[in-house]
Amino acid sequence: MGRTKGIDRTDDRPVYVIGGGPGGLATAAALRGHGIRAVVLEKSGAVGASWRGHYDRLRLHTTRSLSALPGLAMPRSFGRWPARDDMVRYLEKYAEHHELEIVTGVEVSRVERGARDTEWLLRASGGREMTGRAVVVATGHNHTPHLPGWPGLEGYEGTLLHARDYRDATPFAGRDVLVVGAGNTGAEIAVDLAEGGAARVRLAVRTVPHIVRRSTAGWPAQRTGILVRRLPVRLVDRAGALLSRVAVPDLADKGLPRPGTGLYSRVAEGAIPVQDMGLIDAVRRGRVEITAAVTALDSGKVELADGTLIAPQAVIAATGYRRGLEGLVGHLGVLDADGAPRVRGARCAPDAPGLYFTGYTNPISGMLRELSLDAGRIARAVARAHR
């Protein structure tokens, strides 16, 4: 894997893949399997940049066997639930194994239609202009860290960081910490802080999440997600409620009542369940305290939705990400009102043939599994279009 020279002179018009994460690498490998030259453009200095930046505690919520990308199994030494560093090593090995053509240190700023209908023009850092016969955008679902526009944010005097910048609990030992956001990231960071020596850990919850066991009697939640994905929402909601009552204790007295909306109904809205990585036990034992949502910041204090004013020594915002696609392709009319691609996978927008998107959903069946399926579909679609 190395920097390709003369990449801005592309007479053979390759397919350009923007993003060197799992989706981009899998798609490039699938294209190569069809005899199509694919060039991966990665703005950082190495593949898997987002994985390298995740917190130390992170492990996949999906099993090793269902997380491997096409054409290369994950080593058994990774265990059932691969760790962050395992995933980074795997992505490096994947690029090497498939002999992928990867250019690092190149950030694509804009994708435009080329001079011919069958061409796409990419404008990138350093004044580069590249012409390809197709483009696959794989910059990732979690691209740009998002902080809510809380009143008082600009003048907040306390320690405030986004979850992207959290690594481990060491800097917070003996401190009072508020984690904002009860998704998987917020839940895991809260547990990590509680186990890592923080004096007090509170978790601010806006919408009560569904919590599921990562594995029940050896059966991973991911396999259930795969099985129910095509079933009626109401049926899955009923089954999910029954399973929750059996597997997850009632934590209403601790501030985490059972959600009023069905599990699969919530998934349809874009919110996947929180897989328990110690949160249930931490909340039950009082090591993680549940609070109301944050509504404003006031100097060194935080105002909550119930009117409470608290003064944590540090606030970690696990408040999600934005896709950040507007500058890249927003002018092409391919994004919806929320900035997500209108059409994804092997399909292209009618007025943008040859422009594909992968990795912009958060499926209950597992992101890596769906990226792998997408890769094959996109490669077949490109092969058909240019046969």
Pick the more confident residue, 307 or 144.
307
pLDDT of residue 149: 95
Report whether pLDDT(10) > 90.
Answer: no
Handedness of CA 316, 319, 320, 322 (dihedral sign): negative
Q: Among the CATH numbers 3.30.300.130, 3.60.15.10, 3.40.50.300, 3.50.50.60, which is that of 15-143+323-385?
A: 3.50.50.60
Report whether pLDDT(347) > 60.
Answer: yes
Pick the more confident residue, 270 or 96.
96
By three-state DSSP, how is residue 233 classified? helix
For 129, the token pair is 């202009």
Pick the more confident residue, 334 or 362.
334
In angstroms, the Cα distances linking 345 to 137, 167, 341, 349, 358 are 10, 32, 10, 11, 5
Token look-up 């050896």 returns 218
In angstroms, the Cα distances linking 201 to 42, 148, 173 are 37, 21, 11
Stretch 214-221: mean pLDDT, rounded?
A: 87
DSSP 8-state assignment for residue 326: H
pTM: 0.91
- Separation between Cα atoms, residue 197 and residue 45, nearest integer Å: 34
Q: Which amino acid is at 342?
A: R
Span(s) in the chain for CATH 3.50.50.60: 15-143+323-385, 145-317
Pick the more confident residue, 363 or 294.
294
Which residue, among 208, 93, 161, 84, has the nearest Cα to 315 in the 3D structure? Answer: 161
Rounded mean pLDDT of the chain?
93
pLDDT of residue 1: 43
What are the tens digits of pLDDT across the range 19-61? 999 999 999 999 999 999 999 999 999 999 999 989 999 999 9
Which residue, among 96, 90, 100, has the nearest Cα to 15 in the 3D structure? Answer: 100
pLDDT of residue 325: 96
- Separation between Cα atoms, residue 186 and residue 205, nearest integer Å: 10
DSSP 8-state assignment for residue 296: E
Stretch 288-301: mean pLDDT, rounded?
A: 96
For domain 145-317, which architecture applies? 3-Layer(bba) Sandwich (3.50)
